[in-house]
Amino acid sequence: MNAPVANLSVNSLEAHWMPFTANKDFKAEPRLIVKSEGVYAWDHKGGKVIDGSSGLFCVPAGHGRKEIADAVHNALLTNDYCSPFGSGQPTSFTLAQMVSNILPDPINHVFFVNSGSEAIDTALKIAMAYHRAKGDGQRTRFVSRERAYHGVNIGGVSLSGMVKNRETFSGVMPNVVCMRHTWNPEERFVRGQPESGIEMADDLQRFCETYGGSTIAAVFVEPVAGSTGCLVPPKGYLERLREICDEHGILLVFDEVITGFGRCGAPFASQLFGVTPDIMTMAKALTNGSQPMGAVAVQDFVYDGVMNASPDAAIEFFHGYTYSGHPAACAAGVATQQIYIDENLFEKAADMSEYFLDGIFSLRDLDIISDIRGIGMMAGVDLKTKGAPGSRGGGVQKRLFWNGMHVKFTGDCGIVAPPFVSDKSHIDEMIEKLRKTLEEEQAAS
């Protein structure tokens, strides 16, 4: 397939200030994607790149899905926009029902937003609104975790456990404390859940003893920390968090922005681990990455708590975005969820997981790798640091791209998360390209 070749110069790229990107470096050596289809993309020089991270964990059904494009096209022609405040349009209700159908049971109410970051800010506000409605407004403290990524809005940055995302922005929300992260350097190359580490959940118990459990509104965790390299929770850890939350009336929030929609081998990580949160955030694969959209889903008691605190004709929750439940995004969401059902994509991902993880863990003989973790269709591959932390990861990411593979890197960790439509030959291609590139990097150092 021939991809259109863009005519680029450094100057023509200056107007766009790129997100989470080394702008100067990128503009000196641009790597633009101009076409994508299935598990592949094509760069502006015509090179073919296999998508080893499903974009940013967004595209399990593969790129260029006609069903989704048609649904969006149709939505824009028939009903391009209507105010979501005090009016509505049918597809947001359809999508909420479809999502609710695959959520763990008492989670039955879905609030739409436009990104994972907005989902996190919305979840914070729902937690505040719920406690206030109950007359528990003194719960103003939030608990998060080191190495957490909860997006980039002020709420998400306040909950963040990543130094680079926090240190520039000192004026974030007060009253957030971080539990320890769950990565144990003594226990490396673990596939699935580590055996040890449950006691790290007792950090929450210590906060309850230090600050008073009745001052804590909610605990936010990614069931599997995604952006900092697929940190899988130790056995019993999430269950213990659930117990402590129940004991102290604290809301448990799972941020499933990456783990939602089949990534870990079940529709949501919550179901895989058998732990049901009170509130769940999601985004990314909700629309297969085709339209910006996120959502917050809550248990009945949270919804009812907020609803029942206001008189019948009053607005119960003073929150929402101009584009909450946008018709085009909802159409993309409905088409995406239908593809997941029709193609059994969550089951397909669960079935492919063993093969994928076998491939990823086969790389452990490479001296450059210091750890590998994995679960479902996601794995974190830590490279030994060379120079400043993160500088090796950036270089390897570029080298990998020119060798024909896209992988999302955070610092020196590559996070591999193939589309669920990948077959074994695609997984083999990814593993081969990773090995070749890491061997080149080893030889060059």
Ligand X SMILES: Cc1ncc(COP(=O)(O)O)c(C=O)c1O
CB of 141 to ligand X, least distance (A): 20
Closest approach of ligand X to the CB of residue 225, in Å = 8
> Looking at 35-43, 85-93, 144-152, 167-175, which segment touches ligand X (CB under 6 A)?
144-152
Among 40, 112, 149, 273, binds ligand X (CB under 6 A): 149
- Is 147:232 a contact under the CB 8 Å cutoff? no
Sign, CA dihedral 132-134-136-139, equals: negative
Binding window for ligand X (CB under 6 A); candidates: 8-16, 31-39, 92-100, 143-151 = 143-151
Q: Is 353 in the site for ligand X (CB under 6 A)?
A: no
AA identity, residue 392: R
Determine if 232 is a binding residue for ligand X (CB under 6 A). Answer: no
Q: How far is the CB of 8 from ligand X (least distance, A)?
A: 26
Q: Which residue is nearest to ligand X (CB)?
A: 116
Question: In terms of CB distance, is 117 or 437 closer to ligand X?
Answer: 117
Helix (H) or strand (E) holding 34: strand 33-37
For ligand X (CB under 6 A), the number of binding residues is 14
3-state secondary structure 264-309: CCCCCHHHHHCCCCCEEEECHHHHCCCCCCEEEEEEHHHHHHHHCC
Considering only 161, 223, 226, 404, the residue that binds ligand X (CB under 6 A) is 226
Q: Which of 143, 26, 89, 100 is nearest to 323 (CA)?
A: 89
- Other C-beta atoms closer than 10 Å to the C-beta of 132 total 16
Considering all CA atoms of the chain, what is the largest pairwise distance in Å, rounded to the nearest integer? Answer: 70
Q: Which range binds ligand X by CB under 6 A, 165-173, 250-258, 327-335, 387-395? A: 250-258
Least spacing, CB of residue 78 vs ligand X, in Å = 27
Q: Which of residues 74-133 bind ligand X (CB under 6 A)?
A: 115-117, 120
Q: What gap in Å lies between CA 324 and CA 313, rounded to an integer?
A: 21
CA distance 181 to 225: 9
Cα separation of 76 and 126, whole Å?
Answer: 31
Contact region with ligand X (CB under 6 A), list: 60-68, 146-154, 188-196, 367-375: 146-154
Binding site for ligand X (CB under 6 A): 115-117, 120, 149-151, 222, 226-227, 255, 257-258, 283
